[in-house]
Amino acid sequence: MSHQIAIVEDDPDQRHNYTTALEKQGYTVSAYADRTSAREAMSCAMPDLVVLDIILGNEIDAGFQLCRELLALEPGLPVLFLTERVDEIDKISGLRLGAWDYQPKPVSLGFLVERIASLLRLKALRDDPTPTTRPARETGQLSIDEDAMQIRWRQKLLELTITEFRLIAALARRPGYPVAYETLMQATIQQYVTRNTINTHMRNIRRKFCALDSSFRCIANEYGHGYRWVHESKATMTE
């Protein structure tokens, strides 16, 4: 079955180019020029992935609002922001909303097609209940499933973005050792990543752990350097 892709882009030429490139790869594409029409259509039939611009017509934050509305209906929906708004605060806002990726315009059609294919593969891994080929990696009460890109804390699944997963995996790869900002930036596989971006992600990650376990203290700041994953016993001793 062909994957259903939704494009929400107010520029008619870009909308046409994205649609044509994806249809050539066998995807079924629905394209929308504004938030209202996209919201109405997707409330009836949710696609497998959505590509969103942020500014749509006269609505400067329409993409953010639509992302919020769609994820309220379908929390596991992959959302890819594709936009000319490349300020760090915009990227942070998009990722905080739960977008899986945030890419700047202009973008080559070849890269866009490959990025969408990659996100759909990740979605398939997350949705597939069959056992993965690699066993989960255990670090104390932390369980990391690299294939499905899922993390459990005390056997409870965390609802994470892909970037958040990558950051936790990078920290837990060497528990007890500091991980530099530069290493964490590379782990995100994102453009325009700064130390402030990493700090924002870490605050969000801690909040999600604490929602499951109020005593969570395993992510420690290494001021001026990066972060460290602290073993549970040591984290308890430092409280």
pLDDT averaged over every residue in the chain: 89
Question: Residue 217 is encoded by which pair of tokens?
Answer: 């203290």
Q: Residue 201 belongs to what domain range?
A: 137-237
Bridging pattern class, strands 178-180 and 156-157: unpaired
Q: With respect to residue 31, please indicate whether it lies within any of the assigned structural domains.
A: yes
Is the same domain home to 122 and 8? yes
Report DSSP letters for 79-136, one per residue. EEEEES---HHHHHHHHHHT-SEEEESS--HHHHHHHHHHHHHHHHHHH--SPPSSPP
How many angstroms separate the CA atoms of 105 and 37, rounded? 23
- Give the whole-angstrom CA distance, residue 61 versus residue 186: 28
Helices 181-188, 195-212: axis angle to 10 degrees equals: 80
pLDDT score recorded for residue 130: 59
Q: For position 122, what pLDDT does the model report?
A: 83
Q: Are 124 and 30 in contact (CB under 8 A)?
A: no
Task: Examine residue 132 and state whether it is found in any structural domain, yes or no.
Answer: no
pLDDT by residue (tens digit) across 194-204? 899 999 999 99
Return d(Cα 57, Cα 178) in angstroms, integer: 46
Could you say which of 69, 104, 127 is where a domain stops?
127
| From 106-110, 127-131, 167-171, the region with the lowest mean pLDDT | 127-131
- Confidence bin at 74 (pLDDT 50/70/90): very high
Q: What is the pTM of this model?
A: 0.62
Number of domains in the chain: 2
**pLDDT of 129 above 90:** no
Spell out the residues 6+ positions from residue 233 whose beta carbon is closer than 8 angstroms to its own: none
What is the domain-level CATH number for residue 186?
A: 1.10.10.10
CATH of the domain at 112: 3.40.50.2300
d(CA 99, CA 235): 31
d(CA 110, CA 202): 32
Residues 122, 188 within the same domain:
no
Position 70: which residue type?
L
Q: With residue 49 as reference, give the H or E element that holds it.
A: strand 49-52
